[in-house]
Each structure stands twice: as C-alpha cells, then as structure tokens.
C-alpha cells in the first residue's frame, strides 16, 4: 500500500466535491455549513426522507457530504487528504499521521446510502465518535 499526497488536480477535484456538499446543504437546510457534524446528519436525513425524484443523486450525497465530513476530520482531528493506492486501485481518503489510521469518509456515506438500513439519526457523528473512542483519531 502506498500513501500519495494530493497534487493540484486532486485538490481541484476535492474542492469541487466540497462545493457540491455546500450546495446540498443549501438545498436542504438553506444555510452554509457551520462545521458541525449534526448539520451533515440533518441534511442526510432530509435527503433520505425527500420523496422528490429531482433531488441530489446517491453519488452526489456520498461525494458532497463525505467530502465535508473529511474537512471536519481535517480541521478538528489532524487528518489529511491523501490518495491510497493498493492492489485494487487508488482511492481518495484521509490519514491520521499520529495513529496511521486510514479513513474514507466518502466511502462511509456511499456504503450507507446504497442500503436500506440507514435510519440512524446521527450516523456521521456516530462514526466519528467511534473513531475517537477506538483511538484512531484524537479527541
């Protein structure tokens, strides 16, 4: 496995996904992100319960809200965005340099929006709290 720092093109793509997350928050809660996980969980629940056909796609939710979750980890828990390369390919993720733990917030969201078992009200916050409790990221 190889950890690769992001180049300018990677950063531009990430910034586009962060902007997508902000757009999703504006669509559902009509305000910019306040840096709180509960805001991301609120938008996710509103999306899940949105009966409209014209709403953000599962992929948009995974990329947008997953990237904002990563920004939370970057700003609050000393994680950094990286590319993780292994025998299955390359994926955008994060690493906590202190613990060495690899984190894939976009994948967390994607995995859960593609299942029917996503009724947990504070899913994103619960995942972060588990990472803290298990010592993978600092409190």
The lowest-confidence range among 6-20, 57-71, 101-115, 123-137 is 101-115
Residue 21 forms part of a structural domain: yes
119 vs 124, more confident: 124
Residue 9 forms part of a structural domain: yes
Residue 139 forms part of a structural domain: no
Residue 45 forms part of a structural domain: yes
pLDDT band, very low/low/confident/very high, at 30 (cuts 50, 70, 90)? confident
pLDDT at residue 121 greater than cutoff 80: no
CATH of the domain at 101: 1.20.120.1090
Q: In what order do the strands lie in the sheet with 89-96?
A: 2-5, 79-86, 89-96, 102-103
CB atoms within 10 A of CB 29: 15
The pLDDT tens digits for 88-118 are 999 999 999 899 999 999 998 888 887 655 5
Q: Supply the mean pLDDT for the chain.
A: 91
Closest CA to 25 of 83, 81, 71, 78: 71
pLDDT at residue 32 greater than cutoff 90: no
Residue 67 forms part of a structural domain: yes
Angle at 66 between CA 24 and CA 83, to 5 degrees: 135
pLDDT at 116: 56
Hey, what are 54's tokens?
């014209």
* Tally of structural domains, the chain: 1
Print the domain residue range for 104: 2-133
Residue 93 forms part of a structural domain: yes
CB atoms within 10 A of CB 82: 20
Stretch 17-36: mean pLDDT, rounded? 93
Hey, what are 29's tokens?
């809660």
In this prediction the pTM is 0.92
Residue 138 forms part of a structural domain: no
Residue 42 forms part of a structural domain: yes
Q: Furthest-apart CA pair in the chain: how many Å? A: 43
């Amino acid at each position: 496995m190889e950890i690769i720092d992001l180049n300018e093109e990677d950063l531009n793509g990430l910034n586009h996904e962060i902007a997508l997350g902000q757009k999703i928050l504006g669509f559902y809660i009509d305000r910019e992100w306040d840096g709180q996980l509960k805001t991301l969980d609120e938008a996710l629940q509103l999306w899940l319960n949105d009966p409209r056909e014209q709403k953000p796609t599962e992929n948009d939710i995974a990329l947008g809200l997953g990237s904002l979750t990563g920004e939370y980890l970057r700003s609050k828990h000393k994680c950094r965005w990286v590319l993780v390369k292994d025998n299955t390919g390359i994926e955008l993720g994060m690493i906590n340099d202190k613990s060495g733990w690899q984190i894939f917030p976009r994948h967390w969201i994607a995995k859960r929006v593609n299942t029917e078992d996503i009724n947990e009200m504070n899913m994103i916050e619960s995942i972060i709290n588990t990472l803290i409790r298990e010592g993978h990221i600092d409190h």
